[in-house]
A = this chain, B = another copy of it.
Amino acid sequence: MDRPSGTARRAPLSRERVLRAAVAYADGAGIDALSMRGLAQELGVVPMALYKHVANKDELLDGLVDAVLAEIAPPVVDGTWKAAVRERILSARQVLLRHPWAARVITSRAAPTPGALAYLDSVIGTLRGGGLSVDLAHHAMHALGSRVLGFTQELVPTGVGTTPGAETGAGAGAGTTADSGGEVGGDGGGGDPAAAGMRELAARYPHIAAVVADRTHDGASVVGAGCDDQFEFEFALDLLLEGIERLHRQGWTSATAGRA
């Protein structure tokens, strides 16, 4: 009768239970499918019951943000500031990979949540602990931007931030514009449709095609799927961290920068 863990069907609703259910719901069905009514049904409760624990949907989303941010590993204390920040940010990225909807929810918030501020404060603390000036730490945080939260900020949507149902959208959509007058390959059944798409891509976007062709040499097969997200993330992160480290060594200040 009494099962302390698991999904107790009639446990009294609490803000934490509401948030936990909402995270699970978003993980499973996507953030667009998360509605107050649907969440209430999932909890076996009338919609209005939720409003006892969250003021409205915006506050629910704020709660989701902080629930996700709480999963980011605490900072490591030994080693350089650079290694510590690097590791923390890579941890944040893992959290975002677990909750693909989180990036969009975080960016949709009008004001930063308490959890976001706490995380931000902690990262600045690591920079300061490494000897960076307040000035440089400030601009470093701006430069890292949402990357500090694990955001990839892809130019084309692949990986974090992509909606679940759009796996092959980039490849197929590339050559399929509404105004394409004369078809190249046709759909009669002749050649490989992927090869035909590749030909149209090359005609329309030669430089993108060159990149894709270069990538397909080593391993990848499908258009746009050849990018190693983890490598790209670390590439950009290291570009920024090394630039910041260089400025730090040079005793950079915003006053001496090319600010005019």
* Chain A residues at the B interface, C-beta cutoff of 8 Å: 104, 107-112, 114, 116-118, 120-122, 124-125, 128, 134-135, 137-139, 141-149, 151-157, 161-163, 165-166, 169-170, 172-174, 177, 204-208, 210-211, 214-215, 227, 231-232, 235-236, 239-240, 242-244, 254, 257, 259
Contacts and interface: CB of A to CB of B under 8 A. Distances in A.
B111 A170 contact: yes
Contacts of A148: 155
B110 A142 contact: no
A208 B157 CA distance: 32
Contacts of A155: 112, 116, 120, 141-142, 144-146, 148-149
B110 A211 contact: no
Contacts of A134: 210-211, 214
A257 B242 CA distance: 14
A153 B153 contact: yes
Contacts of A163: 110
How many copies of this chain? 2
B112 A173 contact: yes
Contacts of A204: 117-118, 121
Contacts of A125: 206-207
A171 to B, nearest CB: 9
Main SS of chain A's interface residues? Answer: helix
A161 B243 contact: no
A76 to B, nearest CB: 17
Point out which of A142, A166, A215, A257 has the most chain B C-beta atoms below 10 A from its C-beta. A142
A170 B207 contact: no
Nearest to A259: B231
A124 B232 contact: no
Given A125-B207, A174-B117, A208-B120, A166 B239 contact: no
Contacts of A112: 155-157, 170, 173-174
A139 B226 CA distance: 12
A99 to B, nearest CB: 16
B118 A205 contact: yes
B207 A121 contact: yes
B208 A156 contact: no
Given A104-B108, A208-B117, A240-B240, A146 B142 contact: no
A242 to B, nearest CB: 7
B156 A116 contact: yes
Contacts of A173: 111-112
